[in-house]
Amino acid sequence: MGYHQAMKEKLRDHFMKIGPRRFVVGTVIILIILDILNGIYLKQVWSKNGETLILQSLQMAQLNPAELNPGTMTEIRGLMDKSFSFFLFAIFLNNLFFYLFYLRKKLWAQGYVLFYALSAGVFSMTMIVDQFQMGMGWIIFNLLTIPVYFYLYFGVKLLKNETTLVPEKKAR
């Protein structure tokens, strides 16, 4: 048995000691908490940088913000702010949909959770590099979430058969 296979077995044993059902419930709770915290931070990024992004968008549309009525600019800011909030809420609802079906042992939802944990870990790594001028709290938050997301990824991957209803293949 190679090193890779031995590590895989050790990890699988670790996750089996937790218990497949407890792992799934814990994964869903952790992902919901992290989604909420990420949403809060992303909203802060928008609050901090939204004005600049709006001005850049207006300039790309060849509109001069100075020529617009202050009431129009207020309306645009409000619309963009509400749109971003709605976007974050829609993502959260989408994730919640898949999390709930993962709790119900659906294989297709498990695939989503697996990919989401992997991509969220990569996203956290990029946020450390990019930062969006969010300060040390944002860097620390992302440093802490990287191992959490990869831990969940490996657990979801290694417990696939124990945590989902895998359909039997029909003989032809």
pLDDT at 158: 92
Note the pTM of the prediction, 2 decimals: 0.85
Q: What is the mean pLDDT of the chain?
A: 88
pLDDT at 172: 59
Q: Which residues contact 68 (CB under 8 A, 6 or more apart)?
A: 58, 76
Task: Please report whether residue 121 resides in a domain.
Answer: yes
Q: How many domains does the chain have?
A: 1
pLDDT at 163: 86
Task: Please report whether residue 59 resides in a domain.
Answer: no
Q: Which residues contact 95 (CB under 8 A, 6 or more apart)?
A: 31, 32, 35, 116
Tokens linked to 119: 């991509």
Range of the domain at 107: 11-47+88-163
Radius of gyration of the chain (CA): 21
Task: Please report whether residue 4 resides in a domain.
Answer: no
Question: Which residues of the chain carry a pLDDT beneath 70?
Answer: 1, 131-133, 166-172
pLDDT at 131: 67
